[in-house]
Structure 1
Amino acid sequence: MRKVLNFVFLLLLFTSCQEPQPRRPIEVRSGSFLKTSAERNKRLLEQETTWMQELAQKDSLRTYQSSASGFMYAYEKRVPEAGALAAAGDLVTLTYDIRTWNEDTLYRREEIGILRYLVDKEELFPGMRYSVKLLKEGESATFLYPSSLGYGYHGNDDRIGPNTPLKCTLEIFKIEPETEN
């Protein structure tokens, strides 16, 4: 009997000393949703870029320039003398409006009001953050943004819907360098 107990004990000892086996996931994700979404966003950006270029060519009142960030802009009022551009940390006093590319007004300048914006330290939608750094004090310009530089695939939960390309006119009143703040 003792031999049998010793054998059972040794058998249990050897079988219980195995490495733990990881559990297999219940659901296996292939990542196809992310790939599909990325492809859809690339197509949307290409389409919006083409529309933006066509819109800029049709506008006979303005001469649009392309920015390195992927939007286009045309000066409404330009200051010929040399002046400083806004940099990170500067306090900029500005106002702007938001329209669709079809000129439907989403937010009027009066609704937004005059803002005091601390460059790169406060939230504005991506395109506007880049635009503030392109204008000098006293200048204004009209900007055409693809939806990715506007409020993106989500919109703003109010008047700006998902994937809405935007047209904005921005005016810079004053730029106070960071050392003065």
Structure 2
Amino acid sequence: MRLALNAILLTLLFVSCKPQEARRPLSISSGSFISESIDRNKKLASKEEALIQKIIEEDTAHQYITSETGFWYFYTLKDSISTTTPKFGDIVTFNYNVKDLKNNTIYSEQELDTITYRIDKEELFLGLREGLKLMKEGEKVTFFFPSYQAYGYYGDDHKIGTNIPLITEVTLNTITKESTTKN
């Protein structure tokens, strides 16, 4: 009996020393979800850009400029003398409104009130953040942002839904250079 018990213990010891094998995944992902998502986003961006281009083509009253970061704009009031634009850390005050591409007001200038914003150091949607850097004090600019430059997939959790391209009319009131705000 003692011999049988030793044999069982020896067998258990031998089996338990076997190296563990790696577990295989239950499903294999090929990355197709990411590829499909990229394709969907490219199609959505093309569709939105085509809608904006159609508005631009039909608007003969304004001269549109294409930004380096993927939005369009025109000046309602332009300062051709000053060369000062806001840079990283500068404080700006501005007023703006938000509309959809059918020119329906989403947020009025009165609702949004005057905004004080430190360039690139505070939250603001991408397109507006970049647009402000193009402006000079006293200028009024109308921007056309595809949804990826605005609130994108998530919207703003209030009035702006998923993937909504926007028009914003912005007046830059003041620029306070960062060097003058340091103590």
Could you tell me how far apart the structure 2 residues matched to 1:81 and 1:160 are? Answer: 37
1:1-181 to 2 correspondences below 5 Å: 1-25=1-25, 28-181=28-181
Shift of 1:83: 2.4
Provide the identity percentage: 39
Could you tell me how far apart the structure 1 residues matched to 2:98 and 2:147 are? Answer: 13
Q: Match of 1:119, as an amino acid?
A: I
SS of residue matched to 1:163: coil
Could you tell me how far apart the structure 2 residues matched to 1:19 and 1:169 are? Answer: 68
* Uncovered stretches (5+) of structure 1, i.e. residues with no partner: none
Shift of 1:160: 1.1
Could you tell me how far apart the structure 2 residues matched to 1:112 and 1:27 are? Answer: 49
Count of aligned positions: 181
Q: Match of 2:121, as an amino acid?
A: K
**Superposition RMSD in Å:** 1.7
Q: Match of 2:156, as an amino acid?
A: N
Shift of 1:35: 2.5
Shift of 1:106: 0.5
Q: Match of 1:97, as an amino acid?
A: N
Could you tell me how far apart the structure 1 residues matched to 2:160 and 2:8 are? Answer: 73
SS of residue matched to 1:123: coil
Q: Match of 1:21, as an amino acid?
A: E
Deviates more, 1:11-20 or 1:145-154: 11-20
Deviates more, 1:99-108 or 1:50-59: 50-59
Q: Match of 1:161, as an amino acid?
A: G
Could you tell me how far apart the structure 1 residues matched to 2:89 and 2:136 are? Answer: 15
Provide the TM-score with structure 1 as the length reference: 0.92
Shift of 1:4: 3.5
* Uncovered stretches (5+) of structure 2, i.e. residues with no partner: none
Q: Match of 2:112, as an amino acid?
A: I
